[in-house]
């Protein structure tokens, strides 16, 4: 089935489910580069990783559990009255329904709330720590990721000033799929910037509240290291050619 006949897909889905599009642009995004990037990971003082045995006691899908924690963290970060866990469950469920394999719970167990609360508190502490280092920068929720061709517009997790922030709750190090995703965000943003002279993100911050792990990556370094070309315009044109014509990806 040609891409142009498919429903529009958000950038996160494209990066995860159709990696071949970005493999053409970033052939050097291999295990060696990923390991090299992960070697610069750091942790935040005063934050405890979530014990595996605590997570194992919850019967929620991991994706649902941590979506719940993000909804709770977002509410706390906005200030005012914090959303109840039932309200957070509604938000998380609406987001997870976009995935065909999501299992929506009727109610939350104490073990579910324990994990989600720990992850939410970790994420809030991480973002507060980053913002404290940049007191003049504003925390932005769900920054817009522009669309291009059959790639629909979408949203990132957070941004603080000129740094976009992506949150992952995996038990492993950050992987190639994570870097593909944030590279896709950058390319889509740059394609729009070329047209309207907007602002770019020079850096991306990956956060893992589950493990208390973080990685700050300069986009110029990531682009040079992962791509076959250091020419930004050329990379955008390669992406544009991929998303504005038909490809049979079966």
Does 161 fall in a domain? yes
**DSSP conformational letter for 246:** -
Does 250 fall in a domain? no
Which tokens sit at 111? 């073990």
Does 138 fall in a domain? yes
Does 199 fall in a domain? yes
pLDDT digits (tens, 9 = 90+) for 74-120: 999 999 899 999 999 999 999 888 765 778 888 999 999 999 999 99
Does 3 fall in a domain? no
Closest CA to 239 of 177, 186, 166: 186
pLDDT of residue 4: 42
Does 142 fall in a domain? yes
Closest CA to 202 of 159, 141, 149, 246: 159
pLDDT digits (tens, 9 = 90+) for 148-164: 888 888 999 999 999 99
Cα 69 from Cα 112, distance rounded (Å): 10
Does 100 fall in a domain? yes
Kind of pairing between the strands at 213-218 and 154-155: unpaired
pTM for this one? Answer: 0.90
Does 111 fall in a domain? yes
**How far apart, in Å, are the Cα atoms of 34 and each of 31, 144, 187?**
5, 26, 19
**Number of domains making up the chain:** 1
Closest CA to 77 of 146, 158, 163, 4: 158
CB 32 within 8 A of CB 179: no
> What is the span of the domain harbouring residue 131?
8-243
């Amino acid at each position: 089935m040609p891409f142009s006949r498919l429903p529009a897909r958000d950038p996160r889905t494209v990066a995860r489910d159709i990696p071949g599009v970005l493999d053409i642009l970033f052939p050097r995004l291999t295990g060696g580069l990923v390991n090299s990037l992960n070697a610069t990971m750091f942790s935040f003082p005063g934050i405890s990783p979530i014990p595996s045995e605590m997570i194992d006691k919850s019967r929620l899908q991991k994706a649902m559990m941590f979506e719940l924690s993000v909804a709770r963290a977002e509410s706390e970060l906005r200030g005012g009255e914090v959303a109840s866990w039932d309200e957070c469950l509604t938000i998380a469920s609406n987001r997870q329904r976009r995935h065909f394999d999501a299992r929506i719970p009727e109610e939350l167990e104490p073990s579910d709330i324990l994990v989600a609360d720990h992850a939410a508190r970790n994420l809030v502490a991480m973002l507060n720590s980053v913002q404290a280092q940049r007191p003049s920068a504003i925390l932005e929720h769900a920054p817009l990721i522009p669309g291009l061709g059959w790639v629909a517009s979408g949203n990132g997790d957070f941004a603080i000033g000129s740094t976009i922030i992506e949150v992952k709750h995996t038990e492993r190090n950050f992987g190639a799929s994570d870097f593909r995703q944030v590279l896709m965000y950058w390319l889509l943003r740059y394609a729009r910037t070329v047209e309207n002279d907007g602002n770019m993100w020079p850096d991306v911050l990956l956060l893992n509240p589950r493990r208390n792990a973080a990685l700050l990556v300069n986009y110029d370094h990531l682009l040079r290291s992962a791509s076959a070309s250091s020419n930004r315009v050329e990379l955008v044109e390669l992406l544009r050619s991929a998303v504005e014509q038909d490809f049979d990806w079966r």
